[in-house]
Structure 1
Amino acid sequence: MSVRKREWTTPKGVAKSAWVVDYTDTAGKRRLKTFAKKKEADQFAATATVEVREGTHVADSASITVAEAGKLWIATGESEGLEQSTINQRERHLKYHIGPFIGGTLLSKLNVPAIRAFQDQLRQTPYPDDFLKISMRGKPRTGKMIGIVTTSLGGILSDSQERGLATRNPVIEMGRKRKGRGRRQEKRNKRKLVVGVDIPTPAEVKAFVAALSGRWRPLLLTAVVSGLRSSELRGLRWQDVDFNARTISVRQRADEFRKIGRPKSEAGERTIPITPGVVNSLKEWRLAYSRPIIGKDQDGKPVREDARPGHLIFANGNGQGESHANIINRGLIPAMIAAGITIDSGNRDEEGRVIHKAKYTGLHALRHFYASWLINRPQDGGFGLPLKLVQERMGHSSITMTADTYGHLFPRTDDADELAAAEAALLGERV
């Protein structure tokens, strides 16, 4: 590895100079890299020396572009059997966010300043006119989306490192530099879930359940008292319900393409107790639920198959998993509006009256309520369960996730009266 100065004169008689790093790469091939300043050449030489010794160095001429690496990253996901929704998300990130800005950049050229510049471009450039979600076209990317896309870029670089196509992952390097003050600031700025804003109150849930009817009642009632995720509800089978023990066992899930698979984590496989009301609702639904059509009778009317253990409980008319959009748009939101759990939409009708919309528009609001129900003290209508048991019921992969999301909901035991009682027990009535 040598660094030398090169001087020459252009055809127009202008004197030029540069610094050249002359070295042999890991394959034994001689490489030359030119820099305008000696400091830059020395820095590269020092880094390249270590990379060549460790067998990780990749020269610019042997590097590939971010777009090419992105395609390999997608192929890796497909070979690992990732869900189609995850593959589709990778493709969207590459097509709409990463490719247009740094798709042609060599991996060897990426560093922390280049990543920061990429983030600035995302922040300053609105969604393209051909973006899939029409409502997002022309609007700026949010900080959350920029973070998600940056994570995907980090995944591309990690995959390339494993393939020997990249020597570094500046996304990880950037994360390490921001781990201290930046992460603490981010944690302080993260808003906690609020009952009545993000989490339905007990009174709202009571009104919501009272408004449930028809085919959506057993599904949404189960969601309220079990805290199952949407994919877990849609993948639930009759054999997963023990009516005698009054439990539901989560053993599979259905993704957005109705593909059945195992829960995302080992903790997702769990058994949850359910209430007698849910048991009765599911029994009634079993007698009338939409079963697969297996033929037609002599009058041409559809003949449906009897309910079997392996059948999905909340299936559509063809026996396939119900879509998440249908559950939200045809089940959850109409029930919220019928129960009067609404907020001002900001719009007015022709007579100037307020047009209301559902206050909670996602199934995760019901999951949040379930968590708060587990946490609340018995005297407040809850179960008063400890953190570890709440984690198990929710199917969280770690207790840290449960604590970070719901820890602030746990009742405090350090109020003035309790402190006075503790002092008296420790030190006596008089201090």
Structure 2
Amino acid sequence: MSVRKRKWKTKSGAAREAWFVDYTDQHGVRVGKQFAKKKDADAFAASTHTEVRQSSHIADYATKTVKQAGEKWLKRAEESLEVMTVKQYEQHLRLHILPFLGDHKLTRITVPVVREFMDKLRDAGRSPAMVKSIRTSLSGILAEAQERGWSNQNAVRDMSQGRKGRESKGDKRRKAKLVVGRDIPTREEIQKVIAQLNKPDAAYRQLIITAIFTGMRASELRGLRWDDIDFARKEITVRQRADATNDMGPPKSEAGQRTIEMAPMVINTLKDWKDKCPKGELGLVFPTQKGTVQRHENIVRRGLWEPQIAAGLTKQKVLRTEGRVPLLKDGKEQLVTVAKYEGLHALRHFFASWCLNPMSLGGQGKNPMEVQKELGHSTIALTMDTYGHLFKKTKNDGALARAEAALLKPVTATQTQHAG
């Protein structure tokens, strides 16, 4: 293992110099690597010396490219993950990772390289949330490469570990709590939506009413069967869900299989709908006219967006391309009017807030454990992380002072004997 300075001239006669590390790896192959700075060459030589002795070193000639590792990572995902998750991974790889890093050798993917890659994504118009999601996919690719012996480092994990304890302002913003009126519909807004749904020509009325008063996930509503509804007991039992490709499967977790009490409006709405509901082999409550599974996009556009827009619940949104780059016209971002709450999950958030709000505010006054069961969360921690800030703290004027007085009150001999 040697570190030496090299000087040479280019074809144009310009003088160049660099630090060169010359070594023989554990396979007996002589390898050379060049660095601009001596400190970088020394650091590489020191770590490589140890890796060669431990037979864990991977030289540039023995590694693969990010593209090759990405293909293997995607193939493994296809074997174990849902179709839409795989589709998202494929888009991350094709649209965002390969254009910037596809031909890079895995051994050259360092923390500075990853940091520069993330900067380029932002400069190209990707949102902070998208950049974070792409970074996670890149970490998965590098982990795949490690398992295959193509690399001995994961620069994304190294970067994350180095950032622990100094969370950025952007990270804090992305962890911002859900806000009523921004992320969660208010009681008045839900009333306006229901008023629009009560019109004769309202599309998906039965489904949206059920979503508001049960907090069921979109996939659970699309997979709901009449056999899962017990009108006598006033209950809905969640037993299955429809994924993005309309295939039926179990709920997201074991806790997702649950029983939900039906509010009177849900009971009356579904009883009236049962005879009119299109029939199909699947026995679905909210099917298409042919009795098949509804497309999620249709439910959102017609069932969720239309009543909001009719009620004046709208916002302006920047039009973007598939790569999340804003569309410009005369140098200005193009805007479009959309529904204030764009996804069905907003109704699930509303249901959660309705469960935990006190009765004096039109809520049900349930405790965190009850809300967890209603929503089908796998852990109470998930419920509290998402909605804990919405639980109303009960005030008992004078309770703290009375507790302090009781604590400081002299203890009698009789009380001491009982305590023992």
Question: TM-score, structure 1 length as denominator?
Answer: 0.80
Match among 131, 151, 159 for residue 146 of structure 1:
131
2:361 corresponds to:
380
Contact persistence 1:215–1:289 (CA under 8 A): no
- The residue identity in structure 2 corresponding to 1:427 is A
Equivalent position of 1:318 in the other structure: 290
CA distance in 1, matches of 2:158, 2:100: 21
Q: Which moved more, 1:184-193 or 1:215-224?
A: 184-193
Instruction: Describe the SS at the equivalent of 2:293.
Output: coil
Query: Does residue 371 in structure 1 map to residue 370 in structure 2?
Result: no
Runs of 5+ unmatched residues, structure 1: 126-139, 293-307, 347-354
Relative to structure 1, the CA distance from residue 337 to residue 19 in structure 2 (aligned partners, 3 Å threshold; closer, same or farther) is closer
Helix, strand or coil: the match of 2:251?
A: coil
The farther-off stretch of 199-208 and 365-374 is 199-208
Q: Are the aligned partners of 1:270 and 1:395 in contact in 2 as well (CA < 8 Å)?
A: yes
Q: Distance in 2 between matches of 1:317 and 1:66?
A: 47
Percent identical residues: 43
TM-score between the two structures when normalised by the length of structure 2? 0.82
Whether the aligned pair in 1 keeps the contact of 2:97 and 2:134 (CA below 8 Å) is yes
The one-letter amino acid of 1:216's match is Y
Q: Is the 8 A contact 1:342 1:356 kept in 2?
A: no
1:117-196 to 2 correspondences below 5 Å = 117-125=116-124, 140-182=125-167, 186-187=171-172, 190-196=175-181
Counterpart in the other structure of 1:60: 60
The one-letter amino acid paired with 2:233 is A
Distance 1:201 1:7, change over 3 A: closer
**Residue of structure 2 equivalent to 1:204:** 189
CA drift at 1:6? 7.3
Query: Is 1:427 the equivalent of 2:398?
Result: no
The separation in 2 between residues aligned to 1:178 and 1:221, in whole angstroms, is 45
Per the TM alignment, residue 55 of structure 1 is displaced from its structure 2 partner at its CA by 5.0
Tell me the CA shift for residue 419 of structure 1: 4.4
Once the two structures are superposed, the pairs formed by residues 82-97 of structure 1 within 5 Å of their partners are 82-97=81-96
Q: How many angstroms apart in 2 are the aligned matches of 1:264 and 1:29?
A: 51
- Equivalent residue pairs, number: 383
Pair 99,188 (structure 1): closer, same or farther in 2 beyond 3 Å: closer
Q: Does 1:396 align with 2:384?
A: no
State the distance in 1 between where 2:170 and 2:316 align: 33
**Residue 152 of structure 1, CA deviation:** 0.8
Once the two structures are TM-superposed, the CA of residue 272 in structure 1 deviates from its matched residue by: 2.0
Is 1:243 the counterpart of 2:244? The answer is no
- Superposed, which structure 2 residues align to 1:212-227 within 5 Å? 212-213=197-198, 216-227=204-215
Give yes or no for contact 1:21–1:41 (8 Å, CA) kept in 2.
no
Q: Distance in 1 between matches of 2:241 and 2:390?
A: 28
| Contact kept? 1:249, 1:271, Cα under 8 Å | yes
2:324 alignment counterpart: none
Code of the residue aligned with 2:165 in structure 1: it is: G
Secondary structure of 1:192 counterpart: coil
> SS of the counterpart of 1:370?
helix
Cα pair distance change 1:47/1:97, threshold 3 Å = same
Aligned counterparts of 2:6 and 2:312: Cα–Cα separation in 1: 77
Instruction: Tell me how far 1:243 sits from its aligned partner.
Output: 2.4
The one-letter amino acid of 1:365's match is: A
* Compared CA separation, residues 20 and 273, structure 1 to 2 (3 A): same
Pick closer, same or farther for the CA change 1:56–1:89 going to 2, 3 Å. Answer: farther
Residues of 2 paired with 1:144 and 1:15: CA distance?
42
SS at match of 2:126: coil
Provide, for residues 344-363 of structure 1, a one-character-per-residue CA deviation record: whole Å limited to 9, x for no partner.
659xxxxxxxx986433321
CA distance in structure 2 between the partners assigned to 1:53 and 1:114 by the alignment: 27
Amino acid across the alignment from 2:182:
V
2:270 maps to 1:259: no
In structure 2, list runs of 5 or more residues that go unmatched: 318-335, 410-420
Note closer, same or farther for the CA distance 1:53–1:243 as it changes in structure 2 (3 Å cut).
Answer: farther
Which AA in structure 2 matches 1:285?
A: W
Deviations 1:311-337 (A, max 9, x none): 222111222211111112211222224
Measured in 1, the distance between the counterparts of 2:262 and 2:116 equals 52
Name the counterpart of 2:320: none
Partner of 1:289: 277
**Alpha-carbon contact 1:215-1:285 (below 8 Å) kept:** no
Report if the CA contact (8 A) 2:3-2:45 is conserved: no
Match of 1:302 in 2: none
The answer as to whether partners of 1:208 and 1:341 remain within 8 angstroms in 2 is: no
Equivalent residue, structure 2, for 1:42: 42
In the alignment, the residues of structure 1 paired with residue 54 and residue 231 of structure 2 have an alpha-carbon distance, to the nearest angstrom, of: 61
- Contact 2:353 / 2:390 at 8 angstroms: preserved in 1? yes
Q: Which amino acid aligns with 1:374?
A: C
Give 1:154 deviation, angstroms. 0.8
Give, in whole Å, the separation in 1 of the partners of 2:291 and 2:222.
Answer: 11
Q: CA deviation at 1:188?
A: 5.9
- Tell me, in whole angstroms, the C-alpha distance in 1 between the residues paired with 2:397 and 2:246: 54
* In structure 1, C-alpha distance between the alignment counterparts of 2:168 and 2:7, rounded to whole Å: 50
